[in-house]
Structure 1
Amino acid sequence: MFSIVKCLRGPGGSLNFDYYAYTAIVKTRTTDLLCGGAIIAPRWVITAANCVPRNDRSYYQIKCGSQHLKDTDDVIVANVIQVYRHPHYDPANQNNNNIALLHLDTVVDREPCQSIKLARSFPEINQDKKISVDFSGWGSIDKSSEPKPSDIIRRFAANILKQNDCQNRHQNKPIFVNNFCTSLPGYDPNFIYGACAKDNGDPIVVKRFPNITLIGINSENGCNTFEFPEINTNVLAYRPWIRDTTKLIL
């Protein structure tokens, strides 16, 4: 059993890594962290397309199995044998189709890691009921000119915004149909709130214990810019592409 660590990325509670063992580190052989990702099958990880711009498949690795970023004991490290960026991803419009699949050379859906299922449907958003989701990852917890990743996995909770509310707060950039935005329920200047540097690709889940299901990955974040919500990719909108690419039954 992993230890419980205090959450320092936002409001509330403790973090039991057992609940977040689907969270993967996207890295290279020489760097500890590029982005986050989610294990969705024995040899598949989903992440953001802007995290894996290179076609050199031998460049990327996946690590999972520890709450500590730099752990080398009792973790699983897998090589990426194929990168599948969405065919309509355009770096000039980063948040449109910002999704990628990584095919691995070894099984990662085993102890101490685990996979997560895609949700059956996206939560219904209305004015009377707030939908809370959870982010997890090792992104930066400082706002320096050269932000460093966290040494330990962090999580935070956020509420899903209605699409028009999100667009109103991001007036200078388009919010695409397959995006959704999240906003934090409160603000405290003593915390780095929300997603930050190297949190792209972090899994976004809905928790209905004992079930935890994946609905999105982070696409763009404001790193404590409270007035601008995170922009995320709705992975459920890409279920047919994921199924066709991986040959998985989802």
Structure 2
Amino acid sequence: MRASTLLVLLVLLGHSFARCNSNGPLQDETTEQVESTTTEDEELPYSLELLTKDDEVTESVEESTETPNIANKPIQHPPIGEKTGFSNVTAREGRVLGGTAATAGQFGYYMFIAGSTASGTSLLCGGALLSEIWVITAAQCVATAASVTVYGGLITTPGMTDVGIGASILVHPSYKRNFVINDIALLRLLSPMTLSATISTIRISTRDPSNGLDNVSVRTMGMGPADDTTELATTPALNYIDLVNLKKWTCLIQTAETYVSYPKNAGCLSSSTATKGFCFADAGGPVVYTSDTDSSAKLIGINSQYLGCPSSYPMSYTRIYPYIPWIKQQTKKTFT
């Protein structure tokens, strides 16, 4: 038996023993506290407005019981350029790794998020537009931000003449930065985003991607560089990639040798090679699924963690489904 295989088996055995002692009999990692309310989510028009009127789903908040993911990249992005984040960056091709360039309006719901900490550190991420005033992103993108600006309708990073909209920040109250648990946040725009041919909202899927969507193709997008660097391109394109929604148990096996265990409420994205994936500045970007019976994409998650860029290890995304009640609670006043 090869040493690497033995190491994987030992790590998995340790995980199994720990769960048996603390939580009773071992269960499949894909089993969740919340069951899907439907297996045909394409039949339901879940705009954010209609979602707030549906009370069938209950929130499943994950608590931290494991050691921090020390092998992962720092959550707070390093400084980029001046305080604006765009004035003196080094020119290079910016894109999700192995992506295809998007056209104007193709992903109108994609939002580019530029934040700044109190010390002036730039925080660059992606997000998705849920309504004219609500954007969803990763908590790691904005938890340390003193201010944040949202840009819509762009397929290149904002220039000095592009005008964004400021937003207030609502980080999930159970977010654990060192464990990257409950990595989800909402941004309430200070003024409405004007919908147009290049700016649109996306519907939230109420189908749990761990229930019936294993090994199906999903799509994500971003403007981050094509490798793990602090340099962001001056004229990068919004790029998209199609990845596999990997079965969670398979994902845990593939990442075992890194000593990183993705959180329970995280899904996994895999390309089987080191030529595709998301990278620096792509966290918070939407993960969408389009069914065979509905041509419109629906939001199932937001990008969270990656184990090196480039890397053949699976990446993680925060599944939206367990947090629908929290999203409804925070946004309900918009529609009542």
TM-score range, shorter chain: 0.7 to 0.9
Answering whether residue 280 of structure 2 is matched by residue 197 of structure 1, we say yes
CA distance in structure 1 between the aligned counterparts of 2:186 and 2:212, rounded to whole angstroms: 31
Deviations 1:95-120 (A, max 9, x none): x1000000011111512311101013
Equivalent position of 1:69 in the other structure: 157
Structure 1 unaligned segments of length 5 or more: list them: 1-6
Corresponding position of 1:27: 114
Between Structure 1 and Structure 2, the one with more strand by share is: 1
Distance 2:106 2:327 in 1: 24
Match of 2:314 in 1: 229
In the aligned structure 1, how far is the partner of 2:111 from the partner of 2:122?
Answer: 12
Question: Map of 1:38-57 to 2, 5 A cutoff?
Answer: 38-54=128-144, 56=146
2:141 is aligned with what amino acid? C
1:148 to 232, 239, 251: 232
Cα distance change on mapping 1:66 and 1:235 into 2, 3 Å: same
Aligned to 1:157: 242
Q: Is 2:268 the partner of 1:177? A: no
Structure 1 stretches of 4+ moved >4 Å:
29-33, 124-127, 185-188
Compute the displacement of 1:175 (Å): 2.2
Tell me: higher relative CO, structure 1 or 2? Use CA pairs within 8 A at least 6 residues apart. Answer: 2
The percent identity for this pair of structures is 26
**Where does structure 2 lack aligned partners over 5 or more consecutive residues?**
1-94
Query: In structure 2, do the counterparts of structure 1 residues 14 and 25 end up closer, same or farther at CA, with 3 Å as the change threshold?
Result: closer
What CA distance in whole angstroms lies between the structure 2 residues aligned with 1:55 and 1:70?
A: 19
Richer in helix (by share): 2
Cα distance in 2, alignment partners of residues 182 and 72 from structure 1: 34
- Number of residue pairs matched by the alignment: 231
- Of the candidates 278, 282, 301, which is equivalent to residue 216 of structure 1? 301
Structure 2 contact 97–310 (Cα < 8 Å) conserved: no
SS of the residue corresponding to residue 17 of structure 1 reads coil
1:17 maps to 2:104: yes
Code of the aligned partner of 1:22? Y
